[in-house]
Amino acid sequence: MEYKLRTEKSNITTMMEFILLGFSDSPNFQWILFGIFLVLYLTVLMCNSVIVLITRIDPTLQTPMYFFLNHFSILEICYVTVTIPRMLMDLLSQKGHISFFACATQMCLVLLFGGLECLLLAVMAYDRYVAICNPLHYGLVMSPQVCVQLVTASWVSGVPVVIGQTWQVFSLPFCGSTTINHFFCDLPPVFKLACGDTFVNEIAVYVVAVVFIMVPFLLIVVSYGKIISNILKLRSARGRAKAFSTCSSHLTVVVLFYGTASTTYLQPKPNQSEETGKLISLFYTVLIPTLNPIIYTLRNKDITVALRKLLSKLST
């Protein structure tokens, strides 16, 4: 009995790496998947870099709305860089080995950037609320100092929470299987490898998810409730159309991101399917960040005009 306990303890303490299964269940499509994800990654990098560039150099885009969009685009680049390059490397090597520390780091960054996206979307909704519902005081309420403070608070506020959350997860004893049925180190699949009772840890995850997902989402809902109410009061049909057009792209991004992220982190554990969870995670970590810059450029006249001006300058 004593020997068995020593062996189990040794297995727990010497676990130095995990294995990410990724998409190894589709060996015949590895190169096709590699090509698809590589194209998506390059699309995210290129489109968001263009948005960052034009929102910084075009004089007509020096407003709070595009200041927040600039930071949102930087965030999207960071967000996909945490997961896609690792996934591409695993598709090439077909091994999926990831060290204990690298897994913890990846989880920490995914949670940090995911939480930051929720907060930035809420800040962008507040900006639209002030612009439409209180336009006379917009310049005062959304001053450059306030914008910097809001972005800084969004970037900084989640850091201690996410570090504490990650430390709590990886302080659990891990034994037995080292295989993570996922393409990155996410909370639900890592929890399944932990030994012992993880109830307290799961409750902590739900609490953090409520704070960083549901609270910002409720603020967005309230903001857009007031925005829509205010827009409907406008007498001019052209004014209503213009007001709706400035909000539609942001609202589309909110629905896509929150719809998938909340399914992963707020769904009860017994109802979670590994394959379904992997597919949903693929949406909010890869596909939606690819769609976001396209949504903002196609549905925003200021961005498209600035892009045409940039292209005309480069062509001359």
* pLDDT tens digits, one per residue of 192-212: 888 877 888 888 888 888 888
Asked if residue 223 lies in contact with residue 200, where contact means CB atoms within 8 angstroms, the answer is no
Look at residue 21 and tell me if it is in a domain: yes
Euclidean distance between CA atoms 134 and 221, whole angstroms: 17
Average the pLDDT over each of 110-119, 137-146, 211-220, 291-300 and give the range with the smallest value: 291-300
Torsion of the alpha carbons at 82, 83, 88 and 94, rounded to the nearest 10: 120
- Residue 100: CATH number of its domain: 1.20.1070.10
Query: Considering all CA atoms of the chain, what is the largest pairwise distance in Å, rounded to the nearest integer?
Result: 81
Asked whether the beta carbons of 114 and 208 are under 8 A apart, the reply is no
What lies within 8 Å, CB to CB, of 244 at 6+ separation is 231
CA distance 303 to 224: 22
Q: How many domains are there within the chain?
A: 1
pLDDT in the model for residue 267: 64
CB 149 within 8 A of CB 274: no
User: Domain for residue 315, yes or no?
Assistant: no
The answer to the question of residue 49 being in a domain is yes
- In a domain? residue 11: no
Type and span of the H or E element at 300: none
What pLDDT score does 174 carry?
Answer: 86
Domain range enclosing 272: 17-303
Identify whether 232 is part of a domain: yes
Residue at 234 is within a domain: yes
pTM to 2 decimal places: 0.88
